[in-house]
Structure 1
Amino acid sequence: MPDAVVSGTVYDGYGREAGGGLVLEGGVLARVLPRGYSGEADVSGAFIVPGLVDVHCHGGGGASFPDDVDPRSIRKAIGAHRASGTTALLASLVSMADPLPAIRALVPFCESGELAGIHMEGPYVSPHKAGAQNPAAIRGADPEELAAWLEEGKGFVKTMTIAPEADHAMEAVRILLAHGAKPSWGHTAASGETAAQALEATSRCAAELGFEGVPQTVTHLFNAMPPIDHREPGPVREFLAAARKGRAIVETIGDGVHLAPALVEDIHEWAGANAAFVTDAMAAAGMPEGRYALGGLDVDVREGAARLAGRETIAGGCSRLSDQLALFARRGALPFGQIVRACVAVPARAASIERAKGVTLDFEPGKRPNFVVFDRGFSPVCVVRE
């Protein structure tokens, strides 16, 4: 969009109301129009928000990042999410015997700015909370193996899902932090005590290494971990407590399938600026129902939910981030600005990709912005990426 006037209530990436429209000249933001602008516009909408940021996404458009490593498929998956407003994306892998081919295939897309980075979900997770992870690939942490993966990732591996109880988990944490990546606790059967110890040890390790920003995240809170019990609260309580104190950022999959929407709203009220929406999307995002693959496992999508073939185990998501924004904006329990923040600034901070291509936190004149225009029903009508 080289030259255009775009009207609508503008929110920045932190969820703050920032104006009444944008003026673009040559694709560069010339100025932010004042609130209440009602003049002529080339594109009109109800809301203008920065491009959405999804830091846990396995694919879309019929293509899977762990399974389809040819450039055409990777572009297809990226495009499926970008078309609905996600302008910055981490490509998520799953537990694999050898993730190097996938890492090598994704790095050029990170170098070009088409992807903001890579998220490794496993293989250092609990076999007792594997979910849709391939049990044959799950194993204890191997420091030498991990270091080799991170080197091949050229600094683009941003987060890695690990179970606190995995063998050599804290050795893996130190290696991740030393490479500028973060542990994301999840797929765990750990006790609350073990989770608390891992959270504390990670904070200490990050301080020792001079790691900037929040040093750890939590992979899809509540999913693939023990539920809260009134006598044994387990890891969920510890993860939430860490988020409330600013020591971790928790992911929530707000698709209406993984978690009850009312619980998602509670989490975002409790954790505030330390709770992010993610899709956990697999190849079926933006596609019809049917059979797909995730990490070499067959997945059937029916009635809006992805499940391992022949089982009831949820196997990733089918939503795109704009779907989640719309769901919770329509419900009205959370302020719209907080929803925007949880789809932009919080996930960007979770993966330390605030400066990545495709990420806009503030609408600054003189820069090429990333933004989505939504209508009054919270459907995206226009997507602009730098």
Structure 2
Amino acid sequence: MATVALTGGLILLPDGNFEKGSVLFNGDKISGVSTGDLPGDVELIDVTGCTVAPGFIDTHAHGALGRNFMEGSREAYKTISGHKTSGGVTSCLATTTSASLENTLFALQYASSVYRSNEIGEMELLGVHLEGPFVNPAYRGAHMEEFVRQANISELEAIWEAAGSALRVVTLAPEVPLGLEAVRFLSERGVNVSIGHSGASYEETKQAISRGVSRATHLFSAMIPIHHRNPGAIPALFEAANVFLEMIVDGHHMHPSIVGMAVRQVESHRPVMITDSADVTGLPDGAHRRWEGLEVVIDKGTCRTLSGGLAGSIMRMDQGVKNLVELVGLPLSLALRMASENPARSIGVFERKGSLEAGKDADIVVLNPDLTVLMTIARGHIIYDARV
């Protein structure tokens, strides 16, 4: 198998610096990064003027183009993958929504089968992010009220049996009845537990973190706002050095100044950019119905319920990187890290993804000068190419 080199671009190195050179890969693995001359038998792909970075990892994505991971079908996964890869995503977590146990188990069983097979030549599924149904009804956001319920061990056991090792992240509210028991059950099985759709107090959040919570789901959204006498969850999450912080940076869920404040408040490895892409992502403006039956309206870059509340994002990952640079004012290297390295670390796959290093998966995104995607490479295969 011939070695391929992406040559002439500015490469994001693991230390956060950029250097002009070549990224070489052979098969599904990166061979190395070179700043010198290349052997004559290497297949060259000229990306002069572009930025070459690790492939984006979206750890919170529900769907796209009218299809939802909850459908549990090959057609849905293929459609979602096609849209995600055009935004630079090389791998993701299939994210659920609050639903009946029957529908949830069906979606988890299908996702688990995809996770185990994971065919080369398309976006890789790194597992499942179970968002709901164990959330606080008062902070449910767009989750359907009839499906929100408190955790119970028998249901958690059924979920674990259906998903097994594919269950990477579970979003829940630790303050609801049996919430802390759910944190214990999941963290003991190696699942990354995330506080979200929660009214947890500062003290309750600290307790949940001590029990195993390691993430925050779409920070600030569906949480108690910070108050100087009732701080809520957010300051406790900032203080915990082992907690990763999801952020939707579409310019609507969080004001750019708040994104900047949050990123600068914590260690650089902790902010994780997500899309939280609803299944209506990529559809034209107007009225649409989501998989669970929720009526929404897409307008001016937002997806909202009929009452006006935000109902997930319709952003692509490359748009998020651009927003972090142009709206928030972050360095490009940090924006790219929030889309690749940090997500990889947050779900325990950094040993093989999230940076351009020899031996890691050949997951690479090539960005044009305007930060749109020129090419997406997943495990050594070009799965999106704007040149053709």
Bin the TM-score by the shorter chain: 0.7 to 0.9
Which runs of structure 2 are paired with 1:282-293 in the superposition (5 Å)?
282-290=278-286, 291-293=288-290
Look up the equivalent residue of 1:47 and give its one-letter code: T
26 and 347 in structure 1: CA distance in 2 versus 1, 3 angstrom threshold = closer
27 and 201 in structure 1: CA distance in 2 versus 1, 3 angstrom threshold = closer
Contact 2:53 2:336 in 1 (8 A): yes
Show the counterpart of 1:87.
90
Q: CA deviation at 1:30?
A: 4.4
Q: 2 CA distance for matches of 1:111 and 1:14?
A: 32
Residue 156 (structure 1) aligned with residue 150 (structure 2): no
Which consecutive residues of structure 1, in runs of 5 or more, have no partner in the other structure?
203-214
Deviates most, 192-201 or 248-257: 192-201
354 and 302 in structure 1: CA distance in 2 versus 1, 3 angstrom threshold = same
Q: CA deviation at 1:281?
A: 0.5
Show the counterpart of 1:207.
none
Which consecutive residues of structure 2, in runs of 5 or more, have no partner in the other structure?
39-43, 119-123, 380-388
Q: Which SS does the other structure have where 1:154 is aligned?
A: helix
Q: Which SS does the other structure have where 2:99 is aligned?
A: coil
Among candidates 305, 308, 312, match of residue 308 of structure 2: 312
Show the counterpart of 2:259.
264
Look up the equivalent residue of 1:301 and give its one-letter code: I
**Deviation string, structure 1 residues 177-201 (Cα, Å, up to 9, x no partner):** 2222121001011222222221223
Look up the equivalent residue of 1:9 and give its one-letter code: L
164 and 109 in structure 1: CA distance in 2 versus 1, 3 angstrom threshold = same
Show the counterpart of 1:169.
179
370 and 169 in structure 1: CA distance in 2 versus 1, 3 angstrom threshold = same
Look up the equivalent residue of 2:292 and give its one-letter code: G
Sequence identity (%): 29
Q: CA deviation at 1:353?
A: 2.6
Among candidates 241, 247, 266, match of residue 242 of structure 2: 247
Question: Between Structure 1 and Structure 2, how many residues are aligned?
Answer: 364
Q: 2 CA distance for matches of 1:222 and 1:186?
A: 9
Q: Which SS does the other structure have where 1:3 is aligned?
A: strand
Show the counterpart of 1:324.
320
Q: Which SS does the other structure have where 1:339 is aligned?
A: helix
Q: CA deviation at 1:41?
A: 5.2
Contact 1:276 1:343 in 2 (8 A): yes
Q: CA deviation at 1:299?
A: 2.1
Show the counterpart of 1:344.
340
Among candidates 216, 219, 224, match of residue 218 of structure 1: 216
Contact 1:228 1:236 in 2 (8 A): yes
Q: 2 CA distance for matches of 1:29 and 1:381?
A: 19
Look up the equivalent residue of 1:103 and give its one-letter code: L
Look up the equivalent residue of 1:220 and give its one-letter code: H
36 and 48 in structure 1: CA distance in 2 versus 1, 3 angstrom threshold = farther
103 and 30 in structure 1: CA distance in 2 versus 1, 3 angstrom threshold = closer
Q: CA deviation at 1:105?
A: 1.8
Q: 2 CA distance for matches of 1:31 and 1:124?
A: 44
Q: 2 CA distance for matches of 1:329 and 1:137?
A: 38
TM-score computed with the length of structure 2 as normaliser: 0.87
Show the counterpart of 1:371.
364
**Deviation string, structure 1 residues 65-124 (Cα, Å, up to 9, x no partner):** 12x222111221122101221101001101112210111121122112331110011111
Which runs of structure 2 are paired with 1:231-246 in the superposition (5 Å)?
231-242=229-240, 246=241
Alignment RMSD: 2.3
Contact 1:45 1:373 in 2 (8 A): no
Contact 2:20 2:35 in 1 (8 A): yes
Which runs of structure 2 are paired with 1:98-247 in the superposition (5 Å)?
98=101, 99-113=104-118, 114-202=124-212, 216-242=214-240, 246-247=241-242
Which runs of structure 2 are paired with 1:47-58 in the superposition (5 Å)?
47-58=51-62
TM-score computed with the length of structure 1 as normaliser: 0.88
